[in-house]
Amino acid sequence: MRTIYFNNNPITPSKVVCIGRNYVEHIYELGNEIPENMVLFNKPNSAITDELKFYQSDCRFEGEICFLVIDNKLQGIGFGLDLTKANIQNHLKAKGLPWERAKGFDGSCVLGKFIPLNGNLETLEMKLYINDHLQQHATYELMIYKPLEILEEIQTFMSLEDGDIIMSGTPKGVAAYAKGDIFRAEIYIDGEMIIQEIFEVL
């Protein structure tokens, strides 16, 4: 079982719950429709890793603000990358089939460390730089569904175990990547940078 680190303590999530299409400009950049309801899908524990690997030329990254659930509450915050094998996903979507082959493969959920969630959620901000170029920028205001709303919706039909992760969706700027690329992610709350993660593509 794959573990993550919360305050430097190992935790084993049973699953990662992902929110799709939660930023309008990202929906438009992929040519999708704005959904009538929240789009949710899971990644298995086996998808979790702390290494960012190159898989194939069409594999895209999606930078996301992530939350750690303990006692059915958002207790921790971290950064994650949702990796997608785009050609496979497009084929599956065209056939009306599930996305697991494109979204749930081993290594498709790249997670950094988690720290306690404190401060005003409405000030949340995420920046992702690729080779020192600002590639993605997310804010609380840009989210269609806010973090507490996401938690509440998941709990209407699915139990969340201590240590489970919620990935809150990705803003515009999704793209493919290459070996040797350097990813630098920053998360801010109340105007202060609380997390910085650096990944080099292996």
Q: Any idea what the CATH number is for the domain that residue 81 is in? A: 3.90.850.10
Smallest CA-to-CA distance from 140 within 191, 83, 177 is with: 191
Residue 189's pLDDT is: 97
Residue 26's pLDDT is: 56
Confidence of residue 1 (pLDDT cuts 50, 70, 90): confident
DSSP conformation letters of 41-64: EEEEGGGEES------TTEEE-EE
The reported pTM is 0.94
Residues 6+ apart with CB under 8 A from 186: 126, 127, 128, 129, 193, 195, 196
DSSP conformation letters of 84-130: EEHHHHHHHHHHT---HHHHSSTT-EEEEEEEE--S-GGG-EEEEEE
**Highest mean pLDDT of the ranges 85-94, 108-117, 137-146:** 108-117
Which residue range(s) make up the domain with 193? Answer: 4-200
127-166 confidence digits (pLDDT tens): 999 999 999 999 999 999 999 999 999 999 999 999 999 9
Confidence of residue 92 (pLDDT cuts 50, 70, 90): confident
Helix (H) or strand (E) holding 24: helix 24-29
Mean pLDDT of 29-34: 62
d(Cα 18, Cα 91) in Å, to the nearest integer? 20
Whether 193 and 140 have beta carbons less than 8 Å apart is answered as no
Which amino acid makes up residue 165? Answer: I
Whether 174 and 26 have beta carbons less than 8 Å apart is answered as yes
Q: Is the pLDDT of residue 28 over 60?
A: no
Residue 34's pLDDT is: 66
Whether 80 and 64 have beta carbons less than 8 Å apart is answered as yes
Considering only residues 94 and 49, tell me which one the structure prediction assigns the higher pLDDT.
49
d(Cα 78, Cα 59) in Å, to the nearest integer? 22
Number of domains into which the chain is organized: 1
Whether 46 and 16 have beta carbons less than 8 Å apart is answered as no
Confidence of residue 37 (pLDDT cuts 50, 70, 90): confident
d(Cα 58, Cα 138) in Å, to the nearest integer? 23
Mean pLDDT of 106-111: 98
